[in-house]
Every structure is written in structure tokens, then in C-alpha cells.
Amino acid sequence: MKDTEIVKELNKKYGALRKEIGKIIVGQERIIEQLMISILSRGHCLLVGVPGLAKTLIVKSLSEALDLKFSRIQFTPDLMPSDITGTEILESGKDIASKFRFIQGPVFANIILADEINRTPPKTQSALLEAMQEHKVTAAGITYKLEEPFFVLATQNPIEQEGTYPLPEAQLDRFMFNLWLDYPSSEEEMEIIRKTTTSYEYKIETAISGNEIIEFQELLKKVPVADELVKFTVDLVAKTRPMNENSPKFIKDYLNWGAGPRATQYLILAAKAFCIIDGRYSPEIDDIKRAAEPVLRHRLIMNFNAEADNISVLEIIKRIIE
């Protein structure tokens, strides 16, 4: 199949995916779109929202519509790294020699939901790092490859601060997107009530297979990007760095640290993914702007001046783009 035909096929299948997820998820179209962009870009997402906004249900429904293996890990203060990656057990018996056997942990799936990731200490949080970055797990000196496609979605609760461990900047940077869920509108909430308090039943059909996801991920590498767009993106990210002499005054006043090169990479990848799910063959500046908020939100470190002047990170991003 030609690349142009694959783009048309993805556009068609993406419409089917939205329809299937819409059977159970009301609203949240933008979040679902950004999750799909992240999967196509081989990225990971950090999802922030108050309890009850269907964070778990969204990712579970997505895994069903994509026909992928889903695994949920509930992060708690006593969770150990081996509870994520797996552990070795000693097998012995009368007729067999004693030997160790590796039992795979829940990280061995296609879509991982790391629920309330900031509830566990950094040592356990870091157990996900190798899997997220390298798509593999090392245990007892042996490396195990994770099945593709592989995608981690971690959730945080913004209102519960007690008993949490903030994610280190190095780990935050490994997430492509930081997505914030909003409350549903009145109409959406009425539709949610109708679906959840009656005998309404749903069955999500497969819209895109795992092999097709891999094919679409490969297509993303071939999407051409104009040099002018790359320069625009590099300049945009460079202007978030206070030590850059060309950065605006408000950046120097309100930021301690700006975004690194990984932000530039993710902006370009997201722009490519946005254009192909729209049925286009080349990304534009507007695609970079669509991706700027979720890519930069967790990479800009605000200082005390910003807090004192009640300046939010979203305001900073909007002013940079303008």
C-alpha cells in the first residue's frame, strides 16, 4: 500500500475509533485525539484530573478499540519495583534441578495505566523509566523486550497533596504530553447520567489493530517536514529558556528552566501525527501550535515571581506562541 493510501486509511480508521469510544465515553474528544497522537508518535502521556472524570475508563476503552493488551498498575506507597517489572521465583522438585524462573510483571502489556503514579516513592517510579525509554525490562542481568506497540499513561490527582511524591523533572520529561481533564459540560453530564444509571449496554468493536498501529507509526517517520517548520519549532523552544539572550523579558522574569531538545522532537512528531490523522501529508505551523500546550506544560519550571504575580504556565505558553 502506498503512503498516501495509508494516510487515507488512517483518517478513516481514526473516525471509526472515535465512534467506538463514543459508545461509552461522553465528550473528552480533545483528550482522546491527543492520546492517539501520542500512540502514533511512540510517546507516553501524563493525565491530570480530579477523581471521577473517567481517566481509567478512557484508556481501557482505547485499548479495547485498538485491540491491545491492557494492564493497570495502582501505585501505592508500599509498591516495589518488582511489582511493576516482575520477579524471579525458585522452581524445585524431586525430578528437576532447582532453577530460577522470571515471572513477568504488569508492565508486559501494550497499554499500561500507571494510576496515581505520584503515590509511590521515586525508586519505584524509576522502575518505569527503562520500560518507557527503551521499551525493555532488565531483571537479574537478562533483558526482556516489550511487545510493540507500547504506551504508558500515568495519572495524577491534582487535589490530593498529602502522601504524594512529586515526579522528578527527568521522569516528567519522558512523557510526551501532559493532559489536563476538565469537568464535563451540563449537556455532557446529562448524557453520562443517562448512560450510567440505566440498563444501557455497550460493546466496543476493534477499530485499529496492533499491527496497523505499528504500520502507522512507521509512516510517521516518512512524513516530510519543511526546514522552515523545523526552524520555527527550534526557535519556539529556545525562547522558553531564560538563559537564552533572545528570550522575551517575561520568560527571564517568570521561568527558572525552559524546555530541552526532547520538547522540539515531540513537537515535530505531534505535528506529523496531527496532519496524518486529518488526512494531510505535510505538517504546518498550526499543527505545532496545537501540540505546544501539552508538550511544554510540564517542561517549563516557574519561579517565585510567577507565583507572586499569579502567572500560570498556560499563560506563558500562549504568550510565547503569540
**The domain that contains 70 carries what CATH number?**
3.40.50.300
Highest mean pLDDT out of 133-147, 182-196, 279-293: 279-293
Between CA 298 and CA 47 the distance in angstroms is 11
- How do 301-302 and 255-257 pair as beta strands? antiparallel
pLDDT band at 271 (very low <50, low <70, confident <90, very high): very high
What is the predicted pLDDT for the residue at 97?
Answer: 66
Residue 99 has pLDDT above 80, yes or no: no
β-partners of residue 101 are 89
Give the model's pLDDT for residue 268: 94
- Number of domains making up the chain: 2
Residue 230 has pLDDT above 90, yes or no: yes
Whether 73 and 176 map to the same domain: the answer is yes
Q: Is the pTM of this model over 0.95?
A: no
Of 175, 204, 222, which residue sits at a domain end? 222
Residue 82: pLDDT band (50, 70, 90) is confident
Residue 12: its H or E element? helix 3-21
Confidence of residue 188 (pLDDT cuts 50, 70, 90): confident
pLDDT value, residue 75: 86
Q: Which domain holds residue 204?
A: 1-222
- Tell me the CATH number at 265: 1.10.8.80
Q: Quick one: CA dihedral 130, 135, 140, 142, positive or negative?
A: negative
- 34 and 81: one domain? yes
Task: Please check whether residues 169 and 124 belong to one and the same domain.
Answer: yes
Task: Clarify whether residues 182 and 263 are in a common domain.
Answer: no
Please indicate, yes or no, whether residues 302 and 197 belong to a single structural domain of this protein: no
- The pLDDT assigned to 158 comes to 63
What pLDDT is attached to residue 162?
Answer: 57
Residues 218 and 250 in one domain: no
Residue 153 and residue 276 share a domain: no
Q: Are residues 186 and 56 in the same domain?
A: yes
